[in-house]
Amino acid sequence: MNNNRTGLLLAICGFAMLSVGDAVIKTMAGLWPVPAVAALRFTIGAVALGILLLRQEGVQGFRPRYPWLQLARGGSLAISSLAFFSAIYVMPLAETMAITFLSPVLTAVLSGPLLGERVRPAVWLASLAALAGVVLILRPNLAELGWPALLPLVAAVFFSLMIITNRASAGHGSPLAMQAYMAIIAAPLLIAVAMGTQWLGIEGMQFGWPSWDIVLRCTFVAFTATCAHWLVYLGTSRAGAAQIAPASYVQLLVASLLGWWFFGDVPDLLTIAGASIIIGAGLFLWRNSVRAHPGQ
């Protein structure tokens, strides 16, 4: 019981820390382009994790068993992060977070064709409910912002693909190596995107050397994200994945509070209703999975 409580507390702290980092990303809107911010954030993370991996496992630690699988993980992370950061720039934090919570349902649906897992009827029911919640949140934003309002949905899809490739790569390396591979692959991809948008002269994507406060904020986000993922890993190892899964929704609560306190974003009734439906679908799916696999 103590292990379960400790694991749950660690996971809650980790998920809350992720939302703090997201709020810091939002403070850079208008100061530096999204691709440059994402590239700098993951470059800092890749260097730090690479040094740790070199110290603990040596050069051998940088040789993954299945390079293409690691490329898929890193590529999914890069696209998901780029879409999510872009969404944070133009949308309220709580609404962006609520839509990305579609990812657990998408993961359950995509696990069928991609991993050969059986998709239970409950998954389809949860999917329909979650999509209804997304429509409620998107409706006013789509009218106001246009296609950029779909960015959280793109982030959710590629985050789900990252989770699925994480499952496929389970046991293929240490937790540190698995985290380092993603950052090391995502960083050059995001640097290429940032340089590409700069070279093409896309409006709003031009950038020079970052100011010290931008570097400091990106370093803070990289540090807190790494600590957060490690806390979630420790929580999972103590309490089990099924026990800590609902704790992820603390992100939405923290994001809502930070959005209100720092950016003056107050969720309207449609957002609250949509978020409630999405969270309800995720919790229903989690509960159904626990009942279907009580030993896990």
- The average pLDDT across 19-46 equals 95
Greater confidence (124 vs 77) lies with 77
pLDDT category of residue 243 using cuts at 50, 70 and 90: low
- The average pLDDT across 126-139 equals 82
Distance, in Å, from the CA atom of 244 to the CA atom of 41, rounded to the nearest integer, reads 27
> Please, are residues 36 and 199 in contact by the beta-carbon 8 Å criterion?
no
Question: Which residues neighbour 208 within 8 Å (Cβ) at sequence distance 6 or greater?
Answer: none
Confidence (pLDDT) at 2? 66
**Helix intervals (H) in the chain:** 2-26, 34-57, 67-90, 93-100, 103-115, 121-145, 151-168, 175-200, 212-239, 241-244, 250-263, 269-292
pLDDT category of residue 25 using cuts at 50, 70 and 90: very high
pLDDT category of residue 191 using cuts at 50, 70 and 90: very high
Is the predicted pLDDT of residue 293 greater than 60, yes or no? no
Is the predicted pLDDT of residue 113 greater than 90, yes or no? no
Greater confidence (238 vs 47) lies with 47
**33-79, pLDDT tens digit by residue?**
999 999 999 999 999 999 999 999 999 999 998 899 999 999 999 99
Q: Using CB atoms within 10 Å of the CB of residue 200, give its burial: 0 to 12 exposed, 13 to 18 middle, 19+ buried.
A: exposed
Is the predicted pLDDT of residue 233 greater than 90, yes or no? no
Confidence (pLDDT) at 224? 94
Closest CA to 136 of 228, 270, 244: 270
Confidence (pLDDT) at 31? 92
Q: What is the dihedral of CA 233, 225, 86, 35, to 10 degrees?
A: -120
Q: Using CB atoms within 10 Å of the CB of residue 1, give its burial: 0 to 12 exposed, 13 to 18 middle, 19+ buried.
A: exposed
Considering only 84-98, 180-194, 228-242, which range has the smallest mean pLDDT? 228-242
- The average pLDDT across 177-181 equals 90
DSSP labels, 33-82: -HHHHHHHHHHHHHHHHHHHHHHHH-GGGG--S-HHHHHHHHHHHHHHHH
pTM for the model stands at 0.86
Coil vs helix vs strand at 91: coil
Assign residue 201 a region: left if phi > 0, alpha if psi is -120 to 50, beta otherwise?
Answer: left
Distance, in Å, from the CA atom of 218 to the CA atom of 204, rounded to the nearest integer, reads 19
Confidence (pLDDT) at 245? 66
